[in-house]
Amino acid sequence: MPTDKPGKSPPKSAPPKSAQQKDKEKRKKEDDYLDEALEETFPASDPIAPPRYDDSKN
């Protein structure tokens, strides 16, 4: 016995994406890759802070 209700059509597939939508998704994906790469290199991107030794205190 079918579970579909009479008069109800099956769900439609998503409409084709526009060139603008595809470009937006591509830029988002590239941005996500850049964010991930930055997070993976974060400690190396911090400037070093070498200790200062001042001989004048002796």
The percent of the chain in helix, strand and coil, each rounded to the nearest 5, is 50, 0, 50
State the alpha helices, DSSP H only, in the chain: 19-40, 42-45
Name, of 7-16, 21-30, 46-55, the range with top average pLDDT.
21-30
Confidence band, pLDDT 50/70/90 cuts, at residue 23: very high
Rounded Cα distance, 20 and 57, in Å: 65
Confidence (pLDDT) at 14 = 72
- Per the document, the length of the chain is 58
Average pLDDT over the chain reads: 76
Q: What's residue 20's pLDDT? A: 93
Structure tokens at 4: 């579909």
